[in-house]
Amino acid sequence: MKRPLPSPLPNDWILRDTEKRKWRLGKIIGKGGFGVIYSASDCVDAPVPEDTNYVIKVEFRENGPLFSELKFYQRAAKLENINKWKRNKRLGFLGIPTYWGSGLTECNGTSYRFMVMDRLGTDLQKVIVENGGQLRKQTVLQLGCLMLDVLEYIHDNEYVHADIKAANLLLGHRDPGKVYLADYGLSYRYCPNGEHKEYKENPKKGHNGTIEYTSIDAHKGVAPSRRGDLEVLGYCLLHWQCGTLPWLSVLRNPVQVQEAKAKLIADLPDSVIQMSTSGFTTEVASFLLGVKALGYNEKPDYQALRKVLLGAGPWGPLDLSKPRTVETARPAMNRNSSSERSSKLKPVTEDEDGNRATVKSILPKVRYRIQGESKTIDQEPWKAISRAEEPAKSRPVASDEDDLWLHEVHSKTQEGTKKRHKQKSSVVSGVMRTDEAWLSTRKRHREFRPRFIPDVSNHLGSNVWEDYCTSPSEEDVNWNEHQWTGCAYEYTDDQYRHNNGNNLENVHRTCWSLEMYAVVIVVALLLTLVVITMSFKNCAYF
């Protein structure tokens, strides 16, 4: 039978800890399963202020949980050890409450044990209830990383927590953005003097802890371990993000809870990913997969587990607000199979203002468009509604070659429309000179070409690449003029490659002209030769 809580101690009661330091009790600010929590002050000459920084936890002297918690703080959580760990790991914060002292006291013939701690704020469970049973995905992953930091420290100091849950995560009293893992009443020294406890199942000690999050080892009566702590944390992350767990409806039957957890772990990662819409639990699934691979005595790779959760970063401050509908999970108990779902159902989401909107799924069809063909509704489905509501109107369709010039003019302005039609007609009719068009195109293409520029300011004499994408300066214009006057071969070669068929025709015309010139010259030479020959004959005759 559970023993009742201690009777309230007198107001302004003075306590003295083992270090002879005095503390003054204030009013009761909370009650737990075994003890009472008072506000406290180290100034015994004045009443305890409302915003004091200390609390005192009081239990009956013979109670085990507070004694276990005291031993944890005295062995593993000394303030100087925590500060040293933070420096070595380069951590700005580690969520372990500060222990200030402890001792024994007696009142009305009853002995009590007390412990002085930092005052903390509300617990995370109350925040989750206010949010409708869930937290944002980013918040859940941040909490997971914060708890990994704490667990790595206490595991390195031969202890496991064994009772991680939202009710034991407390927000900072003055800084709610900081979260502390509290209540080490069930903490266990898994590795005394560096020797790990051996794996041994004991059904008589099975199902210990908070049944929703108890590890499979604990269901079997095995002593708590590092693997068990991480498994419990994984269940917590899943519950906080999805708002449910597959075994919540059978909590009265610990064996069924154990079987449901074993099935979830065996079917990873699909069993976890299917618990939320849009695959929002992929990080938690990967986290539990990493825990599943651990041996009972094996040291976890905390950094690898952090990377699994940190994949959604970078992060800002801890956001404890209510998650949006799009992050809401489907209850694991009420989900139908895929064959029973209606194909007409559409996902529903909300914007930042809370307005509900139906998301229409569109499956695009991939088909290459031939030159001169306009895009169809299948290729541009987002225009289907607007085209159906507007009267049909003709609009010019630019080919791939025309796009080189037509995209420079905005088609929705009056002047732009005139210029666009003028350019199009000139391209089609052949009025626009090929040389001028090629020069403008070549100039535009060069603007997006990487240009090698020596960095004169660099004293080491190294060269750098600059992405030359700005409009040409006067120096560039001069460079262009020099390029076209001094490099006729390069110009002709590039022009031929660009204009393709048009330049091929010009080359043929040039070849025909050269042939005609050759014929004329040959005929002239022959005529000259005939005239000279006739002249010699006449001279000989006379």
For 538, residues 6+ apart whose C-beta sits below 8 A from its C-beta are none
To the question of whether residue 393 is assigned a binding role by annotation, the answer is no
Q: How far apart are CA 423 and CA 432, in angstroms?
A: 8
φ, ψ for residue 313, nearest 5 deg: -75, -175
φ, ψ for residue 175, nearest 5 deg: -130, 95
φ, ψ for residue 25, nearest 5 deg: -80, 140
402 belongs to the catalytic site: no
Nearest one of 322, 349, 303 to 139, comparing CA atoms: 322
For 431, residues 6+ apart whose C-beta sits below 8 A from its C-beta are 425
Nearest one of 449, 448, 442, 370 to 405, comparing CA atoms: 442
What's the angle, vertex CA 520, arms to CA 518 and CA 525, rounded to 5? Answer: 95
Supply 83's token pair. 């500060």
Long-range CB contacts (< 8 A, 24+ apart) of 369-376?
Answer: 371/399, 371/400, 372/397, 372/399, 373/397
Query: Which of these is catalytic: 17, 123, 149, 163?
Result: 163
Residue type, 120: L
Distances from the Cα of 275 to the Cαs of 185, 320, 349, 422, 525, in angstroms? 32, 22, 17, 60, 96
φ, ψ for residue 63, nearest 5 deg: -65, 140
Handedness of CA 375, 378, 384, 390 (dihedral sign): positive
Q: Per residue, what are the HEC states of 218-236? A: HHCCCCCCHHHHHHHHHHH
Cis peptide before 8 (omega within 30 of 0): no
Answer for the pair 256, 211: CB distance below 8 angstroms, yes or no.
no
Annotated binding-site positions for ATP:
57
Q: Which residues are catalytic?
A: 163
Annotated binding-site positions:
57
